[in-house]
């Protein structure tokens, strides 16, 4: 699975395969298949983003407000 993340608000850090990079509105991050990744809000406002990935990983309509909610979910 590959992922593209486009950040639209806030400030934070992208951590992909152990490499930390700052992100903000207008940043685009590519996550290659199988690479460990995380995104951390480091600002005062919400860090907001759009994610596009293929193939689908979650059932239609799935929303995870925090990372812990997504962990352990069976792939779609």
Q: Tell me the pTM.
A: 0.71
Q: Parse the chain into domains and list their residue ranges.
A: 2-51
Question: What is the mean pLDDT for each group of 10 consecutive residues in the chain (76 residues)?
Answer: 93 96 97 93 95 78 79 68
For 3, residues 6+ apart whose C-beta sits below 8 A from its C-beta are 30, 31, 37, 51, 52, 53
pLDDT for the residue numbered 76: 58
Fold of 2-51: Jelly Rolls (2.60.120)
Q: What is the pLDDT at residue 24? A: 97
């Amino acid at each position: 699975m590959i992922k593209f993340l486009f950040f639209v608000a806030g400030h934070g850090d992208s951590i992909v395969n152990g490499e930390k990079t700052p992100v903000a509105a207008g940043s685009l991050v590519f996550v290659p298949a199988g690479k460990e990744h995380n995104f951390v809000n480091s600002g005062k406002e919400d860090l907001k983003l759009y994610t596009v990935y293929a193939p689908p990983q979650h059932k239609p309509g799935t929303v995870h407000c925090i990372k812990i909610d997504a962990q352990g979910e069976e792939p779609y």
